[in-house]
Amino acid sequence: MIYLLLKQERDLSSLYNYSSSDLSTLLSISSARSLSIIRQLHEVPIYSLLQQYQQQDIRFIPIYHSEYPHCLKNLPQPPWGLYVMGKKGMLADVSMSLAIVGARQADRYAYQSIQLLMSGLVKSGLLIVSGLAKGADTFAHEEALRAGGKTAAVIAGGFYHLYPKENKTLAKRILSNGLLISEYPPVTKPAKWQFPARNRLISGLSLGTLVVQAGRKSGSLITAYCALEQGKEVFCIPGRITDHLSDGTNDLISDGAKLVRSSEDILAEIIRK
């Protein structure tokens, strides 16, 4: 519905002046439905909400705003707006970013692999994008910060309900030299369906996606497939054939993903090419 409205009205504030019949005609919906939308619209205390967001350094960036990442506009269903916290101006840096994802049960091998690669990735100026999940995502954010780099966490749900709760401290650290990004209002509680939806943004914001460890049912494979559908590079850390956490990454390599042994294997494809 928002996309239909944006095609007609670039300034959505004009919706407050619409009558039920105007909206019904514009969206080709029943008058009962349009009346319900208008009632809900006027029930939301929009100006007090905006003031609250400003006080909490939460910015809302609609799809027509100059700060909105151009790379997301090419998605089949781009978010009509992004909620952003963190360093102002850094959203433009996603034009030079790499997604790093992997299993929530990622082990010491995943941590050591990320640690080995991070220095070269950060020195090249790449912003590291991940999903703030346990395991590989956490390793990626922490190592990016430790190396003096920039990182962005794309979350499912809103900022008032960060998931997992154990990573609230990490989220605060990210705000010092990075971003928290969500397509959902801050009050939104995370739901299962939002995690796969979130994955398309992680890959969509990035030049390529590195999968560190993943079983065959890992959610990080969704991110890899999203990257492929978006025409982006997919990189994988090879793993032991006896380790089920390497089944997904080894399968991706077998299917054509780039095998990674050093940061140069990544940089050669997305920066130096």
Tell me which residue of 107, 115, 62, 64 sits closest to 84, measured CA to CA.
Answer: 62
Amino acid 2: pLDDT: 64
How many Å apart are CA 145 and CA 151, to the nearest integer? 7
Range of the domain at 95: 86-270
In this structure, is residue 149 part of a structural domain?
A: yes
Residue 203 near residue 227 (C-beta atoms within 8 A): yes
CATH number at residue 240: 3.40.50.450
Amino acid 253: pLDDT: 96
Same domain, 23 and 153: no
- Is residue 161 classed exposed, middle or buried when 0-12, 13-18 and 19+ CB atoms within 10 A define those classes? middle
Domains in the chain: how many in total? 2
How many Å apart are CA 250 and CA 238, to the nearest integer? 6
Six token digits for residue 192 = 């299962």
Same domain, 144 and 264: yes
In this structure, is residue 79 part of a structural domain?
A: no
CA of residue 268 relative to chain centroid, distance? 24
Six token digits for residue 104 = 């929530």
In this structure, is residue 64 part of a structural domain?
A: no
Q: Any idea what the Cα angle at residue 208 is, between residues 154 and 253, rounded to 5°?
A: 115
Same domain, 186 and 118: yes
In this structure, is residue 203 part of a structural domain?
A: yes
> What mean pLDDT is reported for the chain?
91
In this structure, is residue 178 part of a structural domain?
A: yes
How many Å apart are CA 228 and CA 104, to the nearest integer? 22
Same domain, 38 and 92: no
Six token digits for residue 272 = 């130096």
Amino acid 9: pLDDT: 60
In this structure, is residue 192 part of a structural domain?
A: yes
Amino acid 212: pLDDT: 96
Residue ranges, the chain, pLDDT below 50: none
Same domain, 4 and 134: no
Which residues are within 8 A (CB) of 165 and not within 5 positions of it... i.e. 6 or more apart?
none
Same domain, 132 and 27: no
Q: 21 — phi, psi (to 5°)? A: -70, -35
Six token digits for residue 34 = 């349009």
Same domain, 94 and 229: yes
In this structure, is residue 66 part of a structural domain?
A: no
Amino acid 89: pLDDT: 84
How many Å apart are CA 99 and CA 140, to the nearest integer? 9
Same domain, 160 and 264: yes
Among 44, 59, 78, identify where a domain stops.
44
Same domain, 145 and 252: yes
Amino acid 1: pLDDT: 60
In this structure, is residue 65 part of a structural domain?
A: no
How many Å apart are CA 94 and CA 82, to the nearest integer? 14
Same domain, 110 and 201: yes
Same domain, 120 and 174: yes
Residue 11, sorted as left (phi over 0), alpha (psi -120 to 50) or beta, turns out to be: beta
Q: What is the DSSP string of 75-130?
A: SSS--SEEEEEESTTGGGGGGGEEEEE--TT--HHHHHHHHHHHHHHHHTTPEEEE
Amino acid 10: pLDDT: 57
CB atoms within 10 A of CB 202: 26
How many Å apart are CA 173 and CA 146, to the nearest integer? 11
Same domain, 172 and 254: yes
